[in-house]
Amino acid sequence: MTSPVDFEVPADGLNMVVCIKQVPDSAQIRVHPVTNTIMRQGVPTIINPYDLFALEEAMRLRDQYGGKVTVLTMGPPMAEDALRRALGFGADDAVLITDRFFAGSDTLATSFALATALGTLGKDRAIDIVFTGKQTIDGDTAQVGPGIASRLNLNQLTYVSAIDTLDREKGEITVRRRAEGGVQVLKSKLPCLITMLEGANDMRRGTIQDMLRAARAQPTVWSAEDAGVDDIMKCGLRGSPTVVKKVFAPSPRSEAAEMVTVEGKKPQQIGNAVVDLIFAAQPKLEAELAAEPGV
Amino acid sequence: MAQAPKKPAGGRAGMKKELPEHFKAYKHVWVFVEIERGRVHPVSWELMGEGRKLANKLGVDLAAVVLGPDDETTKRAVREAFQYGADLCYVCEDEILADYRNEPFTKALTDIVNTYQPEILLLGATTLGRDLAGSVATTLKTGLTADSTELDVDDEKSLAATRPTFGGTLLCTIHTLNYRPQMATVRPRVMAMPEPDMSKGVGKIVNHSLNMVEKDIVTKILDFVADATTDDANLAYADVVVAGGMGLGGPQNFQLVKDLAATLGGEYGCSRPVVQKGWLPADRQIGQTGNTIRPKLYIAAGISGAIQHRVGVEGADLIVAINTDPNAKIFEFAHLGVVADALSVLPALNEAFAQRLKARTKKLEVV
Amino acid sequence: MSEHFDAIVVGAGPSGNAAAYTMAKGGLNVLQIDRGEYPGSKNVQGAILYADALERIIPDFRDHAPLERHVVEQRMWFLDETSHTGAHYRSDDFNEDRPNRYTILRAQFDKWFSKQVKEAGALLICETSVTNLVKNDTGKVIGVETDREGGPIFADIVVLGEGVNALVGQRAGLRPELKPNHVALAVKETHFLPEKTVRDRFNLAGEDDGVVIEVFGDVASGMVGTGFLYTNKESISIGVGCLISDFSETQISPYDLLDRFKTHPSVAPMLRDAELKEYVAHLIPEGGYNAIPQLTGDGWAIVGDAGQFVNAVHREGSNLAMTTGRLVGETVLQLKAEEKTMSEANLKLYRDKLKASFVMKDMKKYRKIPGLLEANKQMLTTYPRAISKALQAMLRVDGTSKRDKETEMMAAMKRQRGSWWGIATDMFKLARAWR
Ligand SMILES: Cc1cc2nc3c(=O)[nH]c(=O)nc-3n(C[C@H](O)[C@H](O)[C@H](O)COP(=O)(O)OP(=O)(O)OC[C@H]3O[C@@H](n4cnc5c(N)ncnc54)[C@H](O)[C@@H]3O)c2cc1C
Ligand SMILES: Cc1cc2nc3c(=O)[nH]c(=O)nc-3n(C[C@H](O)[C@H](O)[C@H](O)COP(=O)(O)OP(=O)(O)OC[C@H]3O[C@@H](n4cnc5c(N)ncnc54)[C@H](O)[C@@H]3O)c2cc1C
Ligand SMILES: Nc1ncnc2c1ncn2[C@@H]1O[C@H](COP(=O)(O)O)[C@@H](O)[C@H]1O
């Protein structure tokens, strides 16, 4: 268990951990049209884009108030790449928890594993803020953050678009939280868990020194046991109450679209033809639209 | 969740054991009714419609859970819950619940669940619903399927929640076999809005008290900055939506989309790359990671019809696609297809609609 | 806090990787810098890997490198608008223990190669562009500047494996600008097909057998260039390449050209039902021997495409890149061992090694070809078309005697080329250039 940096959290600094996940760049996942299998061949992995907003926000707080930013991920050994990239952005320390017992985790098991590791990380020096992204682009549940907060009894601040103030003395934090129809301004206390909203900030470019440090780093790698897991039954498939029963491709609609003939027609004729067909298919619509015409 | 599908399906399902004894008492389908800023989020009623179907299949009751302050909004939500099909309603009224905060809402909902034991609990996948569902599921140590697009019960009376996976390229069906309640969130507009039965009166109400005092709650609301409503896209609930994709070629051409939407009194939207390019703001995006829409008419111009877009528009009554590529995927699920240049068809359509609607309005006036 | 390395390698393509690997294996403190998100991120095409060059660097590469198929059959096609004339050579001899040519997907291959480099001990940083070279008072290169904050990084030698564009070298005034007639633009697509379909479509018996098709003639619309098609495990790589100067002259877009190639009646059936996976455009240096810039100076050396090391005739590039990279690496190791500086004079050793290797010999042998083809486009247009027409005439049974057909063919060829004299000169020039 070697740490990439000899980095103690300054006494009056913030101890922050950012949970990041390595995900396949899903823009590049394809399903084979004939066999319906996923073509994973050569699909590159990236840091879940939402997590980068969390990482940058943590680094900003560190730059302002002093402290330490550790990135934490649960995943296969190759998830080390994601940690190294995070170090290249300027994170101070990195921890990978990896174990075959973690395979097949759903959100409950994931939050259990991460929360346990966070507990171990905060044993000597309590963690002030845990950051997560709003959601992942592969799991896309937005549940892991709240799950961690519940387990560790952290004040939960989700969908945060900005951190307005932070008072180290009083341990108080004010944030802006996106809600339906508006933004809540919330005052809460440390320790807390913040899930950052996209667009909250712009990720910095690490310096050449950050990059060299990242290239040399050997992120701390923890097994389930190292991370402090005492009950394997709460991990991975075993610890996941949900079960995936089937995976399938969506079926095509039974009838094909009715195609409007366009050959030899002027745009205006096409326009009229389409309008006729629309209203023929939806007779009620015409009356409704006419009743409340647009501007 | 992402890693779960790697396991060959079926293997684990076969491992289903008998439901533990203490969960057998868990019965009925519940819907969490989301009130924020004085209104019930429509997704709650959409879920009532869906919950009704599940309850009927299981032969159990449908209940609504309403949390809020002791005021008219809460009372109205309770009344409406019955009109939307609730057989009974669990209500917790407390000033502390006036605005959403995770801590008191989590406590209220978990307490009610632990006391009255539902087998299924549904919430909207809104910012509030996702915030709450995650804490409640973790506190209850049960399974949660987020952002479901389809709900059903299987032969063994277990909730089968289907959701997109692998970046939306595939769907998967998820069960919570040995834990209760089975929880799922569903995004707004994924389910159809049921017709309320206005003749229905208030039925059985079970009151629950929160047992919290404000000073024990750490997080305080200092302010609420409402969105400037004027420019707020109400895409999800529009009757007519016109959207453009990368096929429009550039931001300047989105005026054509906006014009047509205006003529039809509808909203305009776009595909994801259009947002990524910065041509339109993020709240205009339609699809898996944007808005789900269920308009009566959806016109898609220059959109290829990727699966992530498709899942957001499939609820539309009539889909019209304009695309220069006759093999575009969108023609696989559109009802009406036009293989032509959107840049010329959009203005033509605008013109044709304008004339038709004017004519029609006139006719109405004459009658 | 500026650091000092024994060597900095710019680029993590085949040439940079070979150089960094050789030096790191030899115990040097090596920093490699690439601007891509990860090595190979900019190199997504399929390609042919020539085993020999890699084998000299990583002898057991066959055991763990991501190889797609080994080539058992080579086809040469001459195309006109509707037909192709071809020669196929397939041999079971290619099914040897250590096959000589493989198809690879560069994205995967480069990633693998880079992993070997890192395991050998080199330090790699990605997403970082080298913007310029740092020189001392005497003009000796002593380090690099990057597009990141934190100052320059220093090294005894900077190896430029930055690929064809070679902007760093240009900016530092080490070499002239690229000429449009020294670079070809290749566009390439990868089309996905199930593994079995690939094998069925190309009559491949062994699971890892592969086919390569090289195409001349109409594919290039009368421009200097060629087309190609390779079979990968579950996909087909297809592309065309032409000189930049020709693209701008003819105003044909590379994409249209590729489209034309894909829809050619001889090509289309091979791609049927395939799903397009990726599209890339990339430059290929094709200036040949005469375009090779100065390769060494005080504190620097050039390897790979940056040095125009591509054999356009045989479509070899990565092997030359790896070989030049290895030779620089060996040079630096030798100079270090002898405690010599990385001066221009001492680096002559690299140029000597090049001269002694197949690299310079091949580059020299074909030095006249690029200019010849450029100045005499008929070699890639008229002749392929004429051959095709001739064969068609021979094969059609229509009551004309074969002798009359032959006469007509020769006359047609002459009509197209202008004169017998023209044909004779072309043949002579070609023969000379090849010798
Ligand atoms: C995790 C994930 C989530 C995603 N979420 C969403 C989402 O929520 N919403 C979404 O939309 N996408 C989403 N996507 C992206 C999706 O996969 C597609 O990339 C996207 O929908 C394509 O947008 P498009 O159709 O506008 O562009 P393209 O695919 O580039 O299609 C442009 C179309 O325009 C046609 N065209 C070109 N010129 C003209 C013309 N003059 N007239 C008419 N037609 C023309 C072309 O034939 C083509 O079909 C997501 C992807 C991932 C991986
Ligand atoms: C379409 C096509 C098909 C080909 N097919 C074949 C084939 O089948 N067989 C074959 O042997 N060869 C083939 N070649 C040629 C072969 O790809 C090249 O010869 C080979 O890649 C050259 O290697 P290199 O290391 O010199 O350059 P590259 O592979 O181009 O690598 C250069 C690297 O340097 C990095 N870089 C550039 N500038 C900077 C900077 N300023 N700072 C930091 N990093 C920088 C780039 O990101 C890149 O990773 C083909 C080429 C093309 C275009
Ligand atoms: N395996 C993981 N390792 C570290 N963090 C994770 C992991 N999975 C999810 N997270 C965090 O939880 C957030 C929400 O994830 P999700 O619930 O999957 O949408 C992500 O943005 C991450 O910050």
Q: Which chains touch A (3 or more CB pairs under 8 A)?
A: B, C
- The protein residue with its alpha carbon nearest to ligand 1, atom 18, reads B306
φ, ψ for residue B72, nearest 5 deg: -65, -35
CA distances (Å), origin A205, targets A45, A125, A208, B192? 19, 29, 9, 46
A275–B contact, CB cutoff 8 A: yes
B362–A contact, CB cutoff 8 A: no
Interface of A with B in 63-102 (CB under 8 A): none
The pLDDT tens digits of the residues spanning C262-312 come to 988 889 999 988 877 777 788 888 888 888 899 999 999 999 999 988 877
Subunit contact B9:A158, Cβ cutoff 8 A: no
The pLDDT of residue B11: 39
For tokens 């096409």, what's the residue? A270
Q: What share of chain C is helix, strand, coil (3-state, %, to 5)?
A: 40, 25, 35
Q: Kindly report the nearest CA distance between residue A86 and chain C, in angstroms.
A: 13
Subunit contact A211:C192, Cβ cutoff 8 A: no
Q: For chain C, what is the largest distance between any 2 Cα atoms, rounded to a whole number of angstroms? A: 86
**Of A206, A209, A216, which is closest to C1 when you measure between CB atoms?**
A209
| Cβ-Cβ contacts under 8 Å, A145 against chain B | 134
- The protein residue with its alpha carbon nearest to ligand 1, atom 48, reads B304
Indicate the average pLDDT of chain C. 85
The pLDDT of residue B158: 92
Q: Kindly report the nearest CA distance between residue A270 and chain B, in angstroms.
A: 7
**Of A34, A41, A215, which is closest to C125 when you measure between CB atoms?**
A215
Subunit contact A187:B219, Cβ cutoff 8 A: yes
* CA C24, chain centre distance (Å): 25
Kindly state if the Cβ of C323 falls inside 6 Å of ligand 2. no
Tell me what ipTM this predicted complex has: 0.79
Give the A:B interface size as CB pairs under 8 Å: 332
**Of A39, A41, A211, which is closest to C128 when you measure between CB atoms?**
A211
- The protein residue with its alpha carbon nearest to ligand 2, atom 13, reads C317
Q: Which residue in A227, A174, A198 sits closest to A55, CA to CA?
A: A198
Tell me the best of A70, A136, A137, A152 to mutate to test the pocket of ligand 3, counting ligand atoms within 8 Å of each CB and taking the most.
A136
Mutant choice from C125, C195, C198 vs A, greatest count of A C-beta within 10 A: C125
Q: Kindly report the nearest CA distance between residue C150 and chain A, in angstroms.
A: 5
Name the pairing type of β-strands B204-207 and B88-93.
parallel
| Closest ligand 1 atom, residue B287 Cα | 8
Q: For residue A158, report the distance from its CA to the centre of ligand 2, in Å.
A: 45
- Angle at the Cα of C146 from the Cα atoms of C141 and C147, rounded to 5 degrees: 155
Q: Which residue in A70, A24, A17, A74 sits closest to A45, CA to CA?
A: A24
Buried-state track C39-72, b at ≥16 Cβ within 10 A, e below 16:
bbbbbbbbbbbbbebbeebbeebbeebbbbbbbb
Q: Which chains touch C (3 or more CB pairs under 8 A)?
A: A
C157 strand-pairing partners: C7
Subunit contact A150:B353, Cβ cutoff 8 A: no
Kindly state if the Cβ of B291 falls inside 6 Å of ligand 1. no
Q: Which chains touch B (3 or more CB pairs under 8 A)?
A: A
Kindly state if the Cβ of A75 falls inside 6 Å of ligand 3. yes
A49–C contact, CB cutoff 8 A: no
Kindly state if the Cβ of B325 falls inside 6 Å of ligand 1. yes
Tell me the best of C103, C162, C189 to mutate to test the pocket of ligand 2, counting ligand atoms within 8 Å of each CB and taking the most.
C162
- Angle at the Cα of C212 from the Cα atoms of C202 and C85, rounded to 5 degrees: 80
Nearest Cα residue in chain B from A191: B218
The pLDDT tens digits of the residues spanning A170-222 come to 999 999 999 887 899 999 999 999 999 888 899 999 999 999 999 999 899 99
Kindly state if the Cβ of A132 falls inside 6 Å of ligand 3. yes
pLDDT at A1 over 50: no
pLDDT at C141 over 60: yes
| Cβ-Cβ contacts under 8 Å, A33 against chain C | 273, 275
- The protein residue with its alpha carbon nearest to ligand 3, atom 4, reads A73
The pLDDT of residue A237: 86
The pLDDT of residue B5: 38
Q: For residue B308, report the distance from its CA to the centre of ligand 1, in Å.
A: 9
| Cβ-Cβ contacts under 8 Å, C1 against chain A | 209
Residue A98 neighbours by CB under 8 Å, 6+ apart? A74, A75, A76, A77, A79, A221, A222, A223
H-helix or E-strand containing B273?
A: helix B272-276
Subunit contact A208:C108, Cβ cutoff 8 A: no
Kindly state if the Cβ of A105 falls inside 6 Å of ligand 3. no
The pLDDT of residue A41: 60
**Of A35, A206, A215, which is closest to C123 when you measure between CB atoms?**
A215
**Residue ranges of chain B with per-residue pLDDT less than 70:** 1-17, 167-169, 228-233, 360-367
Q: For residue C323, report the distance from its CA to the centre of ligand 2, in Å.
A: 14
Distance (Å, whole) CA A190 – CA A157? 11
The pLDDT of residue B230: 43
B148–A contact, CB cutoff 8 A: no
Q: Band of the pLDDT at A3, cuts 50, 70, 90?
A: very low
Query: Can you list the alpha helix ranges (DSSP code H) found in C40-151?
Result: 51-55, 106-119
- The pTM for the full model equals 0.82
Subunit contact B348:A268, Cβ cutoff 8 A: yes
Subunit contact C194:A209, Cβ cutoff 8 A: no
Q: For residue B363, report the distance from its CA to the centre of ligand 3, in Å.
A: 58
Mean pLDDT value across residues C244-264: 82
A214–C contact, CB cutoff 8 A: yes
Distance (Å, whole) CA A244 – CA B10? 8
Do the beta carbons of residue C166 and residue C178 sit within 8 Å? yes
The pLDDT tens digits of the residues spanning B113-159 come to 999 999 999 999 999 999 999 999 999 999 999 999 899 999 888 99
The pLDDT tens digits of the residues spanning C84-117 come to 887 888 888 888 888 989 999 888 899 999 999 9
Distance (Å, whole) CA B90 – CA B61? 13
Distance (Å, whole) CA C365 – CA C352? 17
Subunit contact A26:B167, Cβ cutoff 8 A: yes
Name the pairing type of β-strands C101-105 and C46-50.
antiparallel
Greater pLDDT, C315 or A287: A287
C196–A contact, CB cutoff 8 A: no
The pLDDT of residue A295: 40
Interface of A with B in 174-233 (CB under 8 A): 174, 176, 178-189, 198-199
Mutant choice from A194, A268, A289, A292 vs B, greatest count of B C-beta within 10 A: A289
Mean pLDDT value across residues A99-125: 93
The ligand placed nearest to the CA atom of residue B130 is 3
The pLDDT tens digits of the residues spanning C379-421 come to 666 766 676 677 677 677 777 777 777 777 777 767 766 666 6
The single-letter DSSP state of residue A206 is P
Subunit contact A88:C41, Cβ cutoff 8 A: no
Q: Which residue in B246, B239, B296 sits closest to B271, CA to CA?
A: B246
- The protein residue with its alpha carbon nearest to ligand 2, atom 39, reads C162
The pLDDT of residue B1: 39
Distance (Å, whole) CA C398 – CA B66? 89
Kindly state if the Cβ of C210 falls inside 6 Å of ligand 2. no
Greater pLDDT, A136 or C338: C338
φ, ψ for residue C18, nearest 5 deg: -65, -40
C92–A contact, CB cutoff 8 A: no
